[in-house]
Amino acid sequence: MRLIIAEKPSLARAIADALPGGSRREDGALHAGDTVVTWCLGHLLEQAPPDAYDPAFKQWRVDHLPILPTRWQLVPRAKARGQLGVIRKLLKQTREVVHAGDPDREGQLLVQEVIEYLGWKGPVSRLLVSDLNRPAVQRALARLEDNARYQPLYRAAESRSRADWLYGINLTRAWTLTGRQAGHDGVLSVGRVQTPVLGLVVRRDAEIRDFVPYPFHVLWADLAVRHGQLRAWWQPGENHRLDAQGRLLDRAPALALAERLPAAEGRLTSLVTRQKRQAAPLPYSLSALQVDAARRFGLSAQAVLDICQRLYERHKLITYPRSDCRYLPDEHFAQARATLESACRSDETLGGWLRGADFRLRSKAWDDKKVGAHHALAPTGKPAELARLEHAEADVFRLIARNVLAQFYPPLAINEVKAEFTILEERFRASGQELLEPGWKPLFATRDEAPPLPPLVEGEPCRVEACDVEDRETRPPEPFNDASLIKAMMNIARYVDDPVVKRTLREHDGLGTEATRAGIIETLIERGYLVRRKKTLRATRLGDGLIASLPQAASRPERTAVWEQRLTAIAERGDDPRPFITALVEDLRDLLDSADAARLRQAMATAQGEAAPTPSRRGKAISTRRRSGKGKPPPRRRQRNNA
């Protein structure tokens, strides 16, 4: 018997449906001839709690820290024991095991840790499925690989799990115990990803709160030229008082010039025209989709992830969604026309875009060299009856299909025009764009483009028809929302000051993963550190106080981003994970030494974040119940890794 272990029931059903002869369900598995397909239910196992290593660790005490397991243990999740028993029984009857976890780091860990926990010593193959439609699954079944090839990926995922446990367990206990000394009775959760994300929001809120606006002034002039009229803007010279962005801080020079401008004549002294061609945006990764869906439809990152999971598992309309890749395999190009025609023809909007596509074109989106364990999100080719989907599901599917369809449109071509006029020995600038070829742009246009400049010739005269001075004021940065926070997590190098680290992070960007970013935001809200105010995300007083009490190293993105670099090196180059864990333990000792009750008390007293709404029941379990006795944590569910 051959046993295939899928990550979840939906994948197991898709695999069984692709096997010859049909299947029957029996005792937590699907039987198809000599092949049996069973499944996990997400993670069946989890890192053992501290008291599994020493019963004394059930009490939270400072003198226990750091807790450092010498031999790591996994334990079954409470609701997973039954399915774990099914897999154990089937392993005793099989000759070969096929690992069918999702094609990513966590998917590799989820199934392989079960196989190893149950003591299987025989051969293991790897099945990589990114599309649940039957032809795609059949192709994947014909291309089984040796699971040994994916051992580095497993070691990276295992190292991530252990590191998160070490970091979350030790720092959460340290800050919770310190919090008690400072008069705070709740659990203060600290994690290697969630805490730097919270730090981003706290610092942004502080920038907004501390922002002191100041006025600046602009002078515009409407100019008559040979073939029409345009608006140009005065460019004050360095002899005036300017800010770092070149904005005029004194109103008087602008007013004095404005008095002299009416009917003044000048000349076009510089004209630069540059033709630009811009290829269509690439197909989506999950995070890129979350950013666009938040901007266009106001959907939270978690809502987009949930929608994508339904489109993938229930409706089978899109490929594997938890992808960080924006490229497609070369083999998809040959099938793209048939796939898109089948997927899009029943929807009026998509059908219109489909009719405009030129399938002779090939964009840079198809590139095997840039495709890893998974590829960009794309339609599977199953006919999409969007009228039967929820409205938000249809919206998200159209975005995914649109970005793939756009690859079969020509580039956007424009003439970018920059004109500089000299009037009364002062410089005035105007800019505009001339559309040469709309290309893919009509698929994406959400607002009218600025009108182009009239035809211009360098040296031609101009005359001032009207002018005015506008008084403006600098504005604080915008608060984070789901879209901008996900984008910040994707492009975390922008928030790093160290030039060496910044340069490194440009190559290995990202805080969290495609699969975890939405969950991190929701966790911070659930734990009372963030709140949603309309469409924005703001820190609470609890979140503000926690960040103020932590050393900067724990609340900034550098550490966790470097973690991801090291985990990538383990996964892609096969680096030994032991130096990574050793370095983490050294960092952990330094962080634990910095816990200070007086600092925490002061931080909580001066915190200026927003008041959190009444926590949910689960939130109370985490953050608001009072401790039940000396040396014990507040009553709560089993402590999780606080990533």
CATH number at residue 447: 2.70.20.10
* Residues 206 and 242 both lie in one domain: no
Exposed / middle / buried, residue 22 (Cβ in 10 Å: 0-12, 13-18, 19+)? exposed
**Tens digit of pLDDT for each residue in 581-617?**
999 999 999 999 999 999 999 999 999 888 877 544 4
Give dist(CA 318, CA 378) in Å, integer.
5
In a domain, 149, yes or no: no
321/230 same-domain check? no
- Give the residue, 144 or 238, on which the prediction is more confident: 144
State residue 623's pLDDT score.
32
Domain of 75, CATH number, reads: 3.40.50.140
Mean pLDDT computed over 178-193: 92
* Residue 320 bears catalytic tag: yes
Residue 302 sits in the same domain as residue 335: yes
Residue that wins the pLDDT comparison between 358 and 445:
358
Confidence of residue 26 (pLDDT cuts 50, 70, 90): confident
For the stretch 488-502, pLDDT in tens is: 998 888 888 877 777
CATH number of the domain residue 193 falls in: 1.10.460.10
Domain contains 441 = yes
The number of CA neighbours under 13 Å toward the Cβ of 348 is: 1
- Residue entry with tokens 């970018």: 416
Q: Which residues does 571 contact at the CB level (< 8 Å), separation at least 6?
A: 105, 152, 153, 155, 156, 157
Would 290 be classed as within a structural domain?
A: yes
If you search the block for the tokens 């229930």, which residue do you land on? 314
Number of domains composing the chain: 4
CATH number of the domain residue 311 falls in:
1.10.290.10
Q: Are residues 236 and 129 in the same domain?
A: no
Here the tokens at position 192 are 């290697």
Cβ proximity of 523 and 517 under 8 Å: no
Beta 412-423 vs 265-278: how paired, if at all? antiparallel
Termini Cα distance of the chain = 39
Q: How far apart are CA 64 and CA 346, in angstroms?
A: 63
Residue 334 has pLDDT above 60, yes or no: yes
Q: 575 lies in a domain?
A: yes
The reply to whether 202 and 177 lie within a common domain is yes
Q: What does the pLDDT look like over 4-17, one tens digit per residue?
A: 999 989 899 999 99
Query: Same structural domain for residues 348 and 322?
Result: yes
Give the pLDDT band of residue 132 (cuts 50, 70, 90).
confident
Q: Which of the four pLDDT bands, split at 50, 70 and 90, describes residue 568?
A: confident
More confident residue, 135 or 126: 126
pLDDT bracket for residue 544 (50, 70, 90): very high
Same domain, 392 and 342: yes
Indicate which residue of 150, 167, 320, 529 is catalytic. Answer: 320
**Same structural domain for residues 523 and 599?**
yes
Q: Residues 360, 495: one domain? A: no
pTM of the model: 0.86
> Which of 351, 379, 408 is a domain's end point?
408
Domain hosting residue 164, numbered range: 157-210+478-623
Element (H, E) at 176: helix 151-181
What angle separates helix 517-526 from helix 194-210, to the nearest 10 degrees? 70
Q: Dump pLDDT digits (tens) for 514-527.
A: 888 999 999 999 99
Picking from 273, 274, 266, 249, the residue whose alpha carbon sits closest to that of residue 428 is 266
pLDDT at position 504 is 65
- At 189 the pLDDT is 95
Report d(CA 31, CA 25) in Å as an integer.
6
Task: Answer whether residue 446 is part of any domain.
Answer: yes
Token reading at 367 = 């590139």
Q: Is residue 594 situated within a structural domain?
A: yes
150 domain residue, yes or no: no
Q: For the segment 53-81, what is each residue's pLDDT rounded down to a tens digit?
A: 999 999 999 999 999 999 999 999 988 89
Residue 642 lies in a domain: no
The DSSP annotation for 99-152 comes to EE--SSHHHHHHHHHHHHHTT--S-EEE---S--SHHHHHHHHTT-EEGGGGHH
**Do the beta carbons of residue 120 and residue 27 sit within 8 Å?**
no
- Is the domain of 482 the same as that of 431? no
Question: Are both 491 and 615 inside the same structural domain?
Answer: yes
SS3 168: helix
Q: Which of 408, 434, 461 is the last residue in one of the domains?
A: 408
User: Could you tell me what percentage of the chain is helix, strand and coil, using 3-state DSSP and rounding each to the nearest 5?
Assistant: 45, 20, 35
The answer to whether the Cα torsion of 372, 374, 377, 381 is positive or negative is positive
Domain shared by 484 and 560, yes or no: yes
Q: Are 440 and 242 in contact (CB under 8 A)?
A: no
Backbone angles phi, psi at 453, to 5 degrees: -75, 155
Q: Tokens standing for 306? A: 């949930």
Determine if residue 424 is left, alpha or beta; phi over 0 gives left, psi from -120 to 50 gives alpha, anything else beta. Answer: left
- Residues 87 and 174: their CA atoms lie apart, in Å, by 39
380 has which bridge partners?
A: none
